[in-house]
Structure 1
Amino acid sequence: MPGDDGAGIYLSAPCAVVGESFQSPAEAAATGRLDADVARRCGYLRVATTVHAPVELAVRAAARTLGSAGAAGVDLTRLLHAWTYHQGHEFWSPAHYIAYHVGADRAVPLGLQQMCNGGAAAVELAARELRADPEQACTLVTTADRFCDPGFDRWGDQGLAYGDGATAVLVGRAPQGRSVRLLASASAAAPSYEGLHGGTGPFTATPQSALRPVTVRSTKKQYMERHPGADLLAVAGESMARLSATALDRAGVAPRDPRLVLVAPPRFAGPALESYRPVLEKATGAPLAQFGADTGHLGAGDAIANLAELLASDRISTGQVAVLVSAGGGLSWTVLVVERVT
């Protein structure tokens, strides 16, 4: 998406709602879910867990965003909901559930499932639609995920731990509450890596998570055994760095611009985060911030959760710029360049 042409797009009142309970790596190791050495090195302090359906958390996040923005569900013309894993029912639209429960009766709810890049991709999609269609009013973007037993092993990935939570942000033509202006965005994908999360097993006719948990480490291992020359870290690092540079150029912000104060990557920790630090800091000239050590990776919600924390903690001041980096299976990446306005 090119830089602002005078028709500003704003991300307002971002909110994150995480699970009400937490589990530490040490606790996971004590129950045999995680190797003790991995627990010491993983970089996460704890991950959030919940007993609630993801969409219930999404409704809470949406209500908080609308309240903070001084808006109501009836003001929305679109509601985009992104997720990664099971939302509570098998044959059903979670986006419509959220719209109904926040009173968005005029909105068209749409579901977006682009793995963990879904939240940032939904923001970019909402911004593009607002620029293209003057009849569209504001769009609410929500995300929600719950990575629980018996279907999902939240500790079963390589360098990532998965936390439960939901996010929301209002995308519109005017700031409402704490807001940033979306200066530019850029996205890319590498479909040849789709097998990292699909594995090499046969296609199934019905969901299998009730029979065996999703363990991302296993599918990644299967992919690497079949593609021994693949270098995931190099591909992901290069893609995120290239997109960061592209988005900054579209925004008219040079690397090392004094307004550019930080880069917010996905909610990785430990070695997974450190592997991307050099390339992102070189591409932007800005320091890499860490978010999520006390929540875990929030599936599709990392970028919006990071924006919410940025504004709530005042780590970015009015007129300053930040780069939000998002990544997801498939593979795909989205970079958002934002400037704080209120």
Structure 2
Amino acid sequence: MRFDLPLYLSAPATVLGERLQTAAEAVAEGLISEYNAERYRYSGLSVSELPPVELAERSAARTLAAAGVAGEQLGRVLHAWTFHQGHEFWCPAHYLADRLGAFKALPVGVQQMCNGGMSAIDQAARDMIVDPKIDSALVTTADCYPPPGFDRWGGDLGIAYGDGATSVLLTRAPQGPSVRLLATASVAASELEAMHRGDAPFTPAPLSGLKTLQPRLAKKEFMTGRPSVDFGETAHSAVTTVVSRSLEDAGLRGDDPRLRAAALPRLAGHVLTGSYQPAFAEVCAAPVVELGGATGHLGAGDPMANLTDLLAAGTLGPGDLVVLLSAGAGFTWTSAVVEVAR
């Protein structure tokens, strides 16, 4: 979708956990094999003792302060997550709206797994297009993966999970460090939903805290039961499709010299170099910047954390173009093309 109406991603922020659990520590504690630690190429994972929504509140406060916007000015508060937010029967988006004083905003929870942050941005942008009364919309993400509920280092395949929150403000003019949202494109492969369900029966109640969640087991069951499904081929096609479409909708060619950077999901190093980067390079010449080595995968927050880091690095200038790629279980892939504000 092309956004002809000026919309900006303003004042992105990231709040990580209070400490870094290094890969060396994880190997020594038997949390991950030395072989996988070398392949994954994470120097460490962000770890927090705080509830994820508290990290989200802190990140949102940074964004609002940097943009010079008060909570009461917000028209939307969208919060995305993948894992337990602290309570079972509860809406974290409304909690954040209350804590931020966003009493005029409509809070919305976005459950799109690791593509949730990008889905929330896309939804907020569409809301602002159809409702001119919305001057700004806040998007937050937050996830924490503590034991015993989650095995952050070894529970999944090709990915390890860090704790953190992100936030960004959608505005009609740049406020603070900003990029203009030019276009987004998404594609889904719903035939892959069982990769995170496996063969386990449906349960009548959440099992959070009662057993350690290990997504790799469901993935292995899926691959054993459906040997004809080629996830690598599907992911390759999805990446090339969404990146090509977003560039086309933005009126750009993949070799445009203004494309100065691309940021991919914070997956394991061997997954990026063996799958995502080759697919991306087929359709876009923007140099890929790997940004998750010292954090791990931040659940729904990778795209906004990547945008935060890219703007903070000081290597981009006004008019430079960036591609942000996101992916989440289900599966859904989204690409966004943004331009650094002038």
Q: Aligning the two structures, in what range does the TM-score lie when normalised by the shorter sequence?
A: over 0.9
**CA deviation profile, 1:67-117 (whole Å, cap 9, x unmatched):** 000111011010000000000011111001111111111111110010000
Cα distance between partner residues in 2 of 1:180 and 1:203:
43
**How far apart are 1:262 and its partner, in Å?**
1.6
**Structure 2 counterpart SS, 1:168:** strand
Cα distance between partner residues in 2 of 1:53 and 1:20:
12
List gaps (5 residues or longer) in structure 1.
none
Maintained 8 Å contact 1:188/1:243:
yes
Maintained 8 Å contact 2:84/2:208:
no
Instruction: Please list, as runs of the form range in 1=range in 2, the aligned pairs for 1:279-298 lying within 5 A after superposition.
Output: 279-298=279-298
Maintained 8 Å contact 2:320/2:339:
yes
**How far apart are 1:25 and its partner, in Å?**
2.2
Instruction: Please list, as runs of the form range in 1=range in 2, the aligned pairs for 1:205-216 lying within 5 A after superposition.
Output: 205-216=204-215
Maintained 8 Å contact 1:150/1:209:
no
TM-score by length of 1: 0.97
TM-score by length of 2: 0.97
Matched, 1:113 2:114: no
**How far apart are 1:173 and its partner, in Å?**
1.0
Cα distance between partner residues in 2 of 1:284 and 1:188:
17
List gaps (5 residues or longer) in structure 2.
none
Q: RMSD in angstroms over aligned alpha carbons?
A: 1.0
**How far apart are 1:29 and its partner, in Å?**
2.0
Q: What residue number does 1:234 align with? A: 233
Maintained 8 Å contact 2:55/2:142:
yes
Q: What residue number does 1:30 align with? A: 28
Name the aligned partner's letter for residue 315 of structure 2: R
**How far apart are 1:18 and its partner, in Å?**
0.5
Q: What residue number does 2:300 align with? A: 300
**Structure 1 counterpart SS, 2:94:** helix
Name the aligned partner's letter for residue 69 of structure 1: A
Maintained 8 Å contact 1:45/1:294:
yes
Q: What residue number does 1:10 align with? A: 8
**Structure 1 counterpart SS, 2:265:** coil
**CA deviation profile, 1:117-151 (whole Å, cap 9, x unmatched):** 00001001111111111122210000000011111
Name the aligned partner's letter for residue 12 of structure 1: S
Maintained 8 Å contact 1:194/1:331:
yes
Q: What residue number does 1:325 align with? A: 325
**How far apart are 1:40 and its partner, in Å?**
2.1
**How far apart are 1:211 and its partner, in Å?**
2.1
Q: What residue number does 2:187 align with? A: 188
Cα distance between partner residues in 2 of 1:37 and 1:184:
40
Cα distance between partner residues in 1 of 2:232 and 2:27:
26
Cα distance between partner residues in 2 of 1:104 and 1:188:
32
What number of residue pairs does the alignment pair up?
A: 340
Q: What residue number does 1:75 align with? A: 73
**Structure 2 counterpart SS, 1:162:** coil
Q: What residue number does 1:278 align with? A: 278
Identity %: 50
Maintained 8 Å contact 1:162/1:299:
yes
**How far apart are 1:209 and its partner, in Å?**
2.6
**Structure 1 counterpart SS, 2:97:** helix
Name the aligned partner's letter for residue 157 of structure 2: Q
Cα distance between partner residues in 2 of 1:33 and 1:269:
15
Cα distance between partner residues in 1 of 2:214 and 2:35:
19
**Structure 2 counterpart SS, 1:276:** helix
